[in-house]
Chains A and B, each alone.
Chain A
Amino acid sequence: MNRRKFLQLLGITGGAATAVSMGARKAVAASGARVEPDRNAVGVLHDSTLCIGCRRCEAACARVNNLPPPKDLGDAAVFDAKRRPEVDAYTVVNRYDRNAGKPIFRKMQCNHCLEPACASACFVRAFKKTPEGPVVYDPSLCVGCRYCMIACPFTIPAYDYHKVLNPLVHKCTLCAPRLAEGKLPGCVEICPTGALVFGKRTELLDLARERIRKTPGLYEDHIYGETEVGGTSWLYLSPVPHAELGQPELDTTSIPELTSGALGAVPMVAALWPVLLTGAYAISKRRDRIAAEEEAAAVAKAVSEAESKAAEELKKALAKAAKEKESALAKAAQEKDAAVAKALAEAEAKAAKTAATEAAAHEPDGKGER
C-alpha cells in the first residue's frame, strides 16, 4: 500500500452507510441526546485473500512501538501454533489451513470497536474511544483490575503479570500518534500486497461491498466487524466463513448495551429502597405502638375492673359486717334482757323461798334455830 493507492481509495464516495449501532440509537431513543459516530472516523480493512503471511506488519508494529522485533520472521514453523497478542506483540498473524488449496492468513489485533467493551468496563476511565476512531489507553490511571480483559469479546488486552512496579495493559493503538501526524499506521504502510487498507470506515465498508460484488464466490458474503458487537473499526474480508479463521461469532449488541440495564437499575434502587424500607420500619413500629397501646389499655382496664370489683366487694363486706354487728348487738341485748329477767325471777323466787323459810322458823314448834 502506498500513498497514491491510499489517496485513490479516499476518492471513493457514494452511499455512506453510517452503520451506527442500532442498539445505541435504541438505547438513547427515549433521551434528549443523539448518538452519532464521527462520520470521518477511520478504520482498516484486512483482506485475507491478499494476505501472504509475511509478517512484515508485525515487524513494523514492533518498530513503531519500540517493542522487541518478532522472532523467527520467515520461519513457517511459527504458524504451527495459534498465537495471540502479547504485552510485547500488539499484533500477530495466524495461519488457517484448508482441506484443499492454499492456507489463509489473518492478522489479529485490537479491533477498535465503535462501542468498546474495555472503555465501558474500565472503572477508572483508562480507555477512551476517540472520535477519530482509535481506542486509546492511559497508563497513568490503570489500577490493574483486568476487567477490560474479561469484557473484551475478542480477548485482546494483554497484561504485565510479571511486573511489580508499573504493570500495564497492552494492545494495538491504531498508531493514534502517527495518525495525528498524518501518517499511516505502521502495519498498513508496510504491507506489500495491499491486504491492509486504511481510510474512513464508511468508505472501507463501501470498498468491501464492492469487492464482494465484483468477485462473487471469492469472498464470504459478510464483512466481519460491520455489525459485530455494535461494529468495529477493523473490518475483515475472508474467502471462507469468518469463524474458520478463528473469529468469534458475536451478536450485534454492543457490550455497553448489555450492562446498561443493570446499571440503570442501580439508581432506581437508591430511590425506591429508602421508601420501601422506611415503610417496613414504620409499619413494624406502628404495629409495636398499637400493641403497646392495646397492652396499656388492657392493663388499665384490668386494673380499673379489679379496683371497682374490689370496691364492691369491700362495700358488700362492710354492709355484711354492719348487719352482723347489728344482729349480734340485738341478740346480745335480748340475751341480756333475758338474763336480767331470769336473774330477777331467780332472785324473787329465792327471796320468796327465804321469806317462807323465815316464816316457818318463826312458828312455835320447838324446832328452831340454835
Chain B
Amino acid sequence: MQYPSVIRETLDSARNQAALWRSRLPSFKELLLSIPRTPANIVTAAILAMGALLTLLRFTLGIGGISNLDNVNPWGIWIGFDLLCGVALAAGGYTTSAACYLFGLKRYHGAVRPAITTAFLGYLFVVVALHYDVGQPWRLVYPIFVSQGTTSVLFEVGLCVFIYLCVLLVEWTPASLEWLGLKTIRSFVVKLTLPLTILGVILSTMHQSSLGALFLTSPGKLHPLWYSSFLPVFFFVSSMFAGMSMVLFEGGLAHRFLHHKMDEAHLHSSREIALGFAKASSFVMAGYLCMRLFDLAMNNNWAYLGTGYGLLYLVELLGFVALPMLLYAFGVREKRFGLIRAASLMAVLGIVLNRLNVCLIAFNWQLPADERYFPSIMEIGLSVFIVTMIITAYRIFAHFLPMLHEHPEYKDAH
C-alpha cells in the first residue's frame, strides 16, 4: 500500500468534505436553532440540562451528596442498571455480527449497522456512567496502565470492555467514513470486519460472563435463588437473547419513528430478521430456563420458592422469560410481528429485572429493611440522563449516517 498517496487522498477527501460542510451548513448557533421543536426534542433538551446540573452536583458534593449509597450498599443503580443492563442490552452487537459474518446468515446484513451502533453507544455510555460512580474517575486507566489487579474479576471486565470499545469503534466507522467520503480508509476498515467480529465474540463472552462472576464473591449477601457457581454462564447465555431482543425492540421503534430513513432493502429484510432473531431468542431462552431450573434442583432450593423472594424469582423466570419465549414462538409460527415486538419488550424488561435482582434486590437480602438501599431521585435522574444521551446520539446518527439505508456511492456496502 502506498502510504503517501493514501495520506494525500485522505487529506484531499477531508478538505473537500470540510469545504462542502462550510458551504452547506450554517453556523453552530443556527444549527441548534434549526432543530425542530418537537415534544421529543424539548423533553430531550430538558433532560440534558438536568444532567448537566447533576454532573455539577456530583463533582461538588461527592457521590454521597447525590446518592443513597453507603458502606453496606456500595453499588446502586449506576452499577445495577447503567453498567449491568447497559452491557447486557448492548450484546446485540456481537450476536448480530456473528450471525451475519461468522455463521454466514447474510439476510441479517441490514441489522448489523444499527446493532453495532447500539452496542458502541451502549459501551461508550457505560464508561461515561462509570465516571460518575467511581470515586476517582481520573484513575480509571490505572487498572490497565498502572497497576494490574489480575486476581480480580473486575479487572477482567475493565480490560475487556476497554478493548471491546475500541473494536466497536472500528467496526462502527464504515458508516461515518461513507458519510465523510473517505474511500480508502473505509475499504481498509471493511477488510478488518472478520477478525474484529471474531475478537468481538471472544471479548463479549469473557466480559458478559465476568459481570456475573463479580457476584461470586458474595454467597452470604446474594439470595440462594440467584447465587450459583454458574452465574457467569447464566449472564453470558442471557446476554445472547438480551442482545437479539434489543435489536428486535429497537427495530420496532426505528420502524415507527425513523421509517423515512430506511430504504427498500432494509424494510424488506426486517421481516426476515424479526423471524430469525425471534426463533433464535426463543430457543436460547428455553435452554436458559432449563439451566436455571437445574441449578435450583442441584442446590435443593425448592423451599425458597414459597417466600417473597421466591415469588420475585418466579415472576422473573416465568413472567419475563418463559412468557416472552412462548410469545416469540407463536409469533414465529404464525408470522405475527406485533407479537414478536411485544415479546421483545418483555424479554428486555426481563433482563433488566434479572440484573437488578442480582445486584440490588436479592443482594443484601438478609439486612433489615432500614438498612436496605433504594436509589435517590438524583441517582435516577442521572441514569435517565445517560439513557437519553444514548437515544439522542442514535437519532443523530440515524439522521446523518447511512445506517438504515445505503449510501448511494457504496451500493453493495452492507
Contact = CB atoms under 8 A, between A and B. Distances in A.
Whether A associates with B in a native complex is yes
Contact of A266 (B62, B70, B206): B206
A274 interface: yes
Interface stretch (A58-66, A194-202, A255-263, A353-361): A255-263
A262 B74 CA distance: 23
A132 interface: no
Contacts of A164: 59-62
A84 interface: yes
Interface residues of B, number: 59
B213 A259 contact: yes
A153 interface: yes
Contacts of B158: 123
Interface in B104-149: 104, 134-137, 139-140, 142-143, 146-149
B134 A145 contact: yes
Interface in A3-21: none
A125 B158 CA distance: 14
A121 B152 contact: yes
Given A150-B218, A262-B216, A161 B152 contact: no
Given A123-B155, A123-B158, A259-B216, A163 B134 contact: no
A197 B215 CA distance: 35
Most buried by A among B194, B202, B217: B217
Interface residues of A, number: 59
B217 A161 contact: no
Chain B contact residues, majority secondary structure:
helix
Contact of A143 (B59, B101, B135, B217): B135
Given A125-B148, A167-B63, A285-B104, A159 B136 contact: no
A156 to B, nearest CB: 9
A123 B206 contact: no
B98 interface: yes
Interface in A72-119: 84, 86, 117, 119
Given A161-B62, A161-B63, A277-B201, A147 B136 contact: no
A144 B136 contact: yes
A278 interface: yes
20 contacts: A84-B71, A122-B149, A125-B149, A126-B147, A143-B135, A150-B215, A158-B71, A159-B135, A160-B62, A160-B135, A162-B63, A163-B62, A164-B60, A166-B136, A273-B202, A280-B103, A281-B103, A281-B194, A284-B104, A288-B104
In the A-B complex, the 5 residue pairs with the smallest Cβ-Cβ separation, listed nearest first, are A144-B135, A284-B104, A161-B64, A262-B213, A146-B74
Interface of A: 84, 86, 117, 119-126, 141-147, 149-151, 153, 155, 157-164, 166-168, 248-251, 255-256, 258-259, 261-263, 265-266, 269-270, 273-274, 277-278, 280-281, 284-285, 287-288
